[in-house]
């Protein structure tokens, strides 16, 4: 095995496996951090997933973590002790930049940590790098005037999705053991799907946030990882109430670390979520996951949801027009010449929507969609559906046109490429993205496992079963050829 191969083997270690090796002193946190740094030097010029690298500080922290494992510190190792964790740049790290990918915010410095950062640091995790996003995290791709384009490790022509695109790419490329995301319309699940990793949209209030945005009931911060067990590990650190977030739920919900198999479970399969036009390969991979669950003893029944795209559009447009976009408008007031073209277009479209769709219109549409989902899921433990309607989109495409063009082929309407927004509208439902396979386009595909409100354990139970039934482990033969 070459030195490069051994570095990659270390860099791709599962977080849970790394912790076990730290505990038995078979591996040092310093060795793992050095491997991740070496891996970054090799792949980062291609994927551009990091907005900031904090390697000198990270190595010093790894030395301190090593001392804990050796019993030289006088304190026991903590839940994430010594793990290299990539944090989304929008998750404030005290004393570091807080630009959210915008030239408008160049020079801004965070005064305190975001709650998720505090949780990670208090658990011994090491934030060795901060990941790229689109400007203000408003897009389903990851590029900005400040940081450039982030590309998919599996095929750099393709997007890593957004807005947690840097986090998804870093995990797939082996430059982080765990990563943070956030999700207001699919920003965790989409990058997880297109990069072939795991991403969890926790139900509203499960993970505390900062500032005014936690009061937006579409959004929440979230864990990302390469395996289901690693996602559980990070979620159990992130979850729980925080006095800075009135919406955060007490008591803390702790996921189990072992799950029953799926025999006897009732799982609903819905490929088109009402009126989505789903690419044949996405449908095929979603059905393959359903068949695997059925072969393992689950009772899988295909259903139709009566969701109308008009209701999804009204709920989404009304919600963002009256909430998130008004905040972005405040940030960018008088500085429009600095924003990305897609940000300017977003502000214009949502300003128009405010003139035609009231917040009450949006709430009524949300309610219809919520009641329809509840009725459809009655009698089932979980719902299975695709994460995206198409296998991917180009990294350089800012999706401003009505049509999505991939390699010169028209594959549908840009707005409906992501199938995640309905579950932000139904945001008390936990949703776990896990890989469903690969497309002929050369990048991974994903499925969403949707649970009943606040039933987090069930979606992880199904996700763990799929990981065992259709393994995607990032072993040597199942990694991007970077």
Q: Which of 479, 428, 383, 438 is nearest to 193 (CA)?
A: 438
| Segment holding 366, helix H or strand E | helix 359-377
pLDDT tens across 407-434, in order?
A: 888 999 999 999 999 999 999 999 999 9
Query: What is d(CA 276, CA 416) in angstroms, rounded to the nearest whole number?
Result: 7
321-348 confidence digits (pLDDT tens)? 999 999 999 999 999 999 999 999 999 9
Task: Name the token pair of 217.
Answer: 């009931």
User: By C-alpha distance, which of 92, 89, 67 is closest to 78?
Assistant: 67
Instruction: Give me the chain's average pLDDT, please.
Output: 97
DSSP class per residue in 251-264: SPP---SS----TT
Q: Tell me: pLDDT of 1 over 70.
A: no
Q: How confident is the model at residue 217 (pLDDT cuts 50, 70, 90)?
A: very high
How far CA 444 is from CA of 161, 289, 416, in Å, comes to 12, 14, 19
Q: Is the pLDDT of residue 307 over 70?
A: yes
The whole model's pTM is what? 0.98
What whole-number distance in Å separates Cα of residue 4 and Cα of residue 25? 23
pLDDT in tens, 155-189: 999 999 999 999 999 999 999 999 999 999 999 99
Q: What is the pLDDT of residue 2?
A: 65
Question: What region does 222 belong to: left with phi over 0, alpha with psi -120 to 50, or beta?
Answer: beta
Ordered structural domains, the chain, with CATH = 3-478 (3.90.1300.10)
Give the number of other Cβ atoms within 10 Å of residue 348's Cβ.
Answer: 11
pLDDT tens string 364-376? 999 999 999 999 9
CA quadruple 114, 115, 118, 124: dihedral sign: negative
């Amino acid at each position: 095995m070459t030195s490069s191969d051994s570095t990659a083997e270390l860099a791709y270690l599962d977080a849970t496996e790394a912790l076990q090796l730290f505990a038995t002193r078979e591996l040092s946190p310093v060795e793992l951090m050095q491997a991740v740094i070496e891996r970054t030097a090799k792949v980062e010029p291609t994927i551009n997933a990091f907005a900031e690298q904090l390697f000198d500080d990270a190595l010093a922290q790894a030395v301190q973590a090593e001392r804990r494992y050796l019993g030289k510190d006088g304190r026991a190792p903590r839940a994430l002790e010594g793990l290299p964790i990539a944090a989304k740049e929008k998750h404030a790290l005290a004393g570091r930049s807080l630009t959210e990918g915008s030239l408008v915010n160049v020079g801004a410095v965070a005064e305190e940590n975001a709650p998720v950062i505090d949780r990670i640091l208090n658990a011994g995790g090491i934030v060795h790098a901060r990941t790229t996003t689109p400007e203000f995290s408003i897009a389903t791709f990851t590029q900005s005037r400040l940081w450039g384009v982030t590309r998919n490790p599996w095929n750099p022509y393709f997007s890593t999705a957004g807005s947690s695109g840097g986090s998804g790419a870093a995990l797939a490329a082996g430059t982080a053991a765990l990563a943070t995301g956030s999700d207001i319309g699919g920003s965790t699940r989409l990058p997880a799907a297109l990069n072939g990793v795991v991403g969890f949209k926790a139900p509203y209030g499960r993970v505390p946030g900062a500032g005014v945005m936690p009061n937006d009931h579409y959004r929440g911060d979230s864990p990302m990882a390469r395996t289901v067990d690693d996602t559980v590990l990070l979620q159990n650190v992130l979850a729980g109430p925080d006095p800075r977030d009135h919406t955060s739920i007490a008591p803390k919900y702790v996921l189990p670390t072992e799950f029953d198999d799926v025999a006897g479970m009732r799982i609903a399969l819905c490929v088109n979520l009402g009126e989505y036009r789903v690419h044949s390969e996405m449908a095929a991979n979603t059905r393959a996951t359903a068949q695997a669950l059925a072969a393992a003893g689950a009772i899988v029944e295909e259903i139709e949801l009566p969701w109308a795209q008009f209701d999804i559009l009204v709920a989404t447009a009304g919600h963002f027009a009256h909430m998130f976009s008004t905040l972005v408008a405040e940030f960018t007031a008088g500085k429009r010449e600095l924003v990305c073209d897609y940000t300017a277009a977003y502000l214009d479209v949502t300003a128009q929507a405010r003139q035609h769709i009231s917040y009450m219109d949006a709430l009524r549409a949300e309610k219809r969609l919520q009641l329809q989902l509840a009725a459809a899921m009655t009698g089932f433990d979980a719902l299975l559906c695709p994460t995206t309607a198409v296998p991917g989109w180009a990294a350089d495409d800012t999706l401003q046109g009505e049509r999505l063009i991939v390699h010169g082929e028209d594959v549908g309407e840009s707005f409906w490429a992501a199938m995640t927004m309905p579950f932000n509208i139904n945001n008390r439902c936990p949703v776990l993205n896990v890989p469903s396979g690969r497309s002929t386009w050369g990048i991974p595909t994903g499925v969403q496992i949707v649970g009943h409100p606040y039933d987090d354990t069930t979606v992880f139970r199904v996700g763990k079963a799929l990981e065992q039934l259709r393994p995607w482990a990032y072993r040597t033969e199942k990694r991007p050829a970077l």
